Structure 1
C-alpha cells in the first residue's frame, strides 16, 4: 500500500465522520415532535442539558 492510498483512506474516514456528525447535529436540532415522527431519539434541549450538568457537577463537590 502506498503512502497516497493511506492518505486517501484517512481523508475519506475523516470526511465520513464529519458528515455523520453533521447529520447528527442537524437531527438533534429538529423540534422534539419531528424527532419522534422520524424515529430519532429525542435529545434534551440545551437548558435541560445545562441544568442537568450543573446538578451533576454541584453534587460532586
Structure 2
C-alpha cells in the first residue's frame, strides 16, 4: 500500500464522516415531530437526554 493510497483512503473516510455529521446536524434542526415522522431513532430519546452520535470520525470498519 503506497502512501498516496493511504492518504486517499483517509480523505475518503473523513469526507464520509463529515457528510454523516452534516446530515445528523440538519436532521437535529428539524422539529421533534418531523424527526419522528421520518423515523429518526434519536427522536424517541430526546426526552431522556440520551444521544447517540455517529461515533469516531473514521466510522466502523
TM range (shorter): 0.5 to 0.7
The number of aligned residues is 46
Bigger helix share: 1
- State the structure with bigger RCO (CA 8 A, min sep 6), 1 or 2: 2
RMSD: 1.7
Runs of 5+ consecutive residues of structure 1 not aligned to the other structure: 50-61
**TM-score normalised to structure 1 length:** 0.66
Normalised TM-score (structure 2): 0.66
Structure number, greater radius of gyration: 1
Q: Which runs of 4+ in 1 moved over 3 A?
A: none
Gaps of 5+ in 2: 50-61
